[in-house]
Copies of this chain bind each other. A is one copy, B any other.
């Protein structure tokens, strides 16, 4: 048993894999923050999606008016969905990339650009910053993911 444990931990002794673990966790935590922001904006803007969420505001018409969409809530939700659309590819391709034996410095460069780009994207979306801030930060994360996918396919292609 403890021999097995040791063997498993080996994967996390590899520095490129440690870097993946670190940055994957960071971008996932950042994405999870979007849930809290949605809750925050739903409460402060009083804009909810479910009848049971507005029951404490009273019954009937009084509560019903809080069942509405709000521009700030929808903006956070679009940012959250954009995170999902981009972080899911990073999680999958990044894991395989970390296992493909990349140079540590190259791997770190990819992971740091991706994480930085997603943080910038969130600020650009929520402040919001004028375009092309959001577009460019999205493109940077996208390009880095493509670059990792290329390395994975070059190393492991088996059709």
A58 to chain B, nearest CB (A): 14
Bound-state Cα–Cα, A145 to B155, Å? 25
Bound-state Cα–Cα, A17 to B12, Å? 14
Nearest first, the 10 closest Cβ-Cβ pairs linking A and B are A18-B158, A21-B156, A9-B101, A28-B89, A18-B156, A21-B96, A19-B158, A91-B92, A4-B14, A12-B156
Q: Can you list 7 residue pairs at the A/B interface with Cβ under 8 Å?
A: A8-B17, A8-B98, A11-B99, A12-B100, A24-B96, A35-B142, A50-B75
Contact surface of A with B, Cβ cutoff 8 Å:
1, 4-19, 21-22, 24-25, 28-29, 31-32, 34-35, 49-53, 55-56, 75, 78, 80-81, 84-89, 91-93, 95-96, 98-101, 128-131, 134, 138, 142, 145-146, 149, 152-153, 155-159
